[in-house]
Amino acid sequence: MARDSEATRARILAAAIEEFAERGLAGARVDRIAQAASSNVRMIYAYFGDKSGLFDIALRTALRSLADDVPPRPDDLPGWAGDVFDHHRRHPDVLRLSMWAQLERPGATSEPLDTYADKVDLVEASAPAPFTPVDALVLVYALAQAWFLSPVGLTAIDGDPNDAQRLAAHRVAVVTAVERMLRPE
Amino acid sequence: MARDSEATRARILAAAIEEFAERGLAGARVDRIAQAASSNVRMIYAYFGDKSGLFDIALRTALRSLADDVPPRPDDLPGWAGDVFDHHRRHPDVLRLSMWAQLERPGATSEPLDTYADKVDLVEASAPAPFTPVDALVLVYALAQAWFLSPVGLTAIDGDPNDAQRLAAHRVAVVTAVERMLRPE
């Protein structure tokens, strides 16, 4: 029984991540999530409160899975940036969810997420002046995500931005950028 | 008379940029734009077609003003990144509009905007291997925007992320990052 409800929760969360990533908080429909999760709206509200509550948990779950899948490697931040790039390539939902949150629910990203504090500690030794560890993390994430947040009018100038070879070349650029940026003077 | 209609158009566009930046394409209301612009819905449709058409023109206008206000300086891309950072700080609407476009209307960023092609030509000589000019532009923009797109849970770890001193310190980090990244080996 407990196992059943855990499985149901997981199905609802997976469906919620997909629906919110596609349509955002305002555009998402809980009945569509219920249908995709073979559940029902009443059960979703019982588990997660209202639509905003479900959104917050979906966002946190997606960010947590990014953090768990590609934890910072303090001894190799350039390699880590490459891993984050790969993760975004495989899971475009995470970036879309983060963008919706930023636009529709900035409060959802403001609570002190312990994952960030842990990461800041991890990169402390790898952030040469003038970078604080927070600066370094913000900039490394930005480089790793850049391709997927850029207007297609720019990324398509060299050809299809989703072409495997183009992506591989840009991945090299990302890893090199982090390497050079964090090399002590 | 021609001058009047130009002024009306400009007022509508300014109001549209504000409304779309705040609420996105789906959430925006044309009657609210009309009211803010001291115009009316009928005139907006006459000038701009439908709501999506107005969104596309608002986006293009905001991006164009970014391009005009802080054109790439090929001989000083680090300094230019600092300028772009300042522009985003002063005009948060541009980034919000771009994010909404990416989420709700990806097609709007895909047309070959001549501004991008021009910029790519401009930075050609300043992008050392392995960066193509497109890679370099994508990464420089990402660094300049990073702070404003990062979750507050991360940027607030060092204190208020909107504090003038904190912003100045991060600006130094951005300029330094671009400098190191683009320094030829």
Per-residue pLDDT tens over the stretch A170-180? 999 999 999 99
Q: How far is A174 from chain B (nearest CA, A)?
A: 8
Q: Which residues of B touch A134 (CB under 8 A)?
A: 154-155, 157-158
Q: Would you call B150 an interface residue with chain A, using a CB distance cutoff of 8 Å? A: yes
Q: What is the mean pLDDT of chain B?
A: 90
Rounded distance between C-alpha atoms, residue A148 and residue A162, angstroms = 10
ipTM of the complex in this document: 0.90
For the CA atoms of A61, A66, A70, A75, the dihedral, rounded to the nearest 10 degrees, stands at -100
Residues A25-61: tens digit of each pLDDT: 999 999 999 999 999 999 999 999 999 999 999 998 9
pLDDT over 70, % of chain B: 94
Please judge whether B151 and A96 are an interchain contact, meaning their C-beta atoms are less than 8 angstroms apart: no
pLDDT at B1 over 60: no
Q: Would you call A162 an interface residue with chain B, using a CB distance cutoff of 8 Å? A: no
Q: Count of alpha carbons within 13 Å of B86, Cβ hemisphere only?
A: 12
Mutate to test the interface with A, among B77, B176, B178, B179 (most CBs of A within 10 A): B176
Rounded distance between C-alpha atoms, residue B114 and residue B122, angstroms = 12
Confidence of residue B110 (pLDDT cuts 50, 70, 90): low
Other beta carbons within 10 Å of B3: 7
Domains of chain A, start order: 1-57 (1.10.10.60), 70-185 (1.10.357.10)
For B74-126, what is the HEC assignment?
Answer: CCCHHHHHHHHHHHHHHCHHHHHHHHHHHHHCHHHHCCCCHHHHHHHHHHHHH
Confidence of residue B49 (pLDDT cuts 50, 70, 90): very high
Q: How far is A95 from chain B (nearest CA, A)?
A: 10
B139: Cβ contacts below 8 Å, ≥ 6 apart: A143, A146, A173, A174, A177, B131, B181
pLDDT of residue B113: 58
Residues A111-157: tens digit of each pLDDT: 655 667 778 888 888 888 899 999 999 999 999 999 999 888 889 88
Confidence of residue A1 (pLDDT cuts 50, 70, 90): very low
pLDDT at B123 over 60: yes
Each residue of A79-99: b (16+ CB within 10 Å) or e? Answer: ebbbbbbebbeebebbbbbbb
Cβ atoms of A156 and A99 within 8 Å: the answer is no
Q: How far is A58 from chain B (nearest CA, A)?
A: 15
Comparing CB atoms, the residue among A111, A117, A141 nearest residue B150 is A141
Cβ atoms of A59 and A72 within 8 Å: the answer is no
Average pLDDT value for residue range B80-103 = 94
Long-range contacts of A171-174 (CB under 8 A, 24+ apart): A171/A82, A171/A85, A171/A86, A172/B130, A173/B130, A173/B131, A173/B132, A173/B135, A173/B136, A173/B139, A174/A81, A174/A82, A174/A85, A174/A143, A174/A144, A174/A146, A174/A147, A174/B139
Q: Which of residues 24-83 of B touch A (CB under 8 A)?
A: 24, 26-27, 63
Average pLDDT value for residue range B122-143 = 91
Q: How far is A152 from chain B (nearest CA, A)?
A: 5
Q: How far is A4 from chain B (nearest CA, A)?
A: 33
Please judge whether A24 and B103 are an interchain contact, meaning their C-beta atoms are less than 8 angstroms apart: yes
pLDDT of residue A25: 95
pLDDT at A78 over 70: yes
Cβ atoms of B72 and B117 within 8 Å: the answer is no
Residue contacts between A and B (CB atoms, under 8 Å): 159
Q: Which of residues 80-139 of A touch B (CB under 8 A)?
A: 96, 98-104, 106, 109-113, 116-117, 120, 130-132, 134-139
Confidence of residue B114 (pLDDT cuts 50, 70, 90): low
pLDDT at B112 over 80: no
Q: Would you call B20 an interface residue with chain A, using a CB distance cutoff of 8 Å? A: no
Please judge whether A157 and B174 are an interchain contact, meaning their C-beta atoms are less than 8 angstroms apart: no
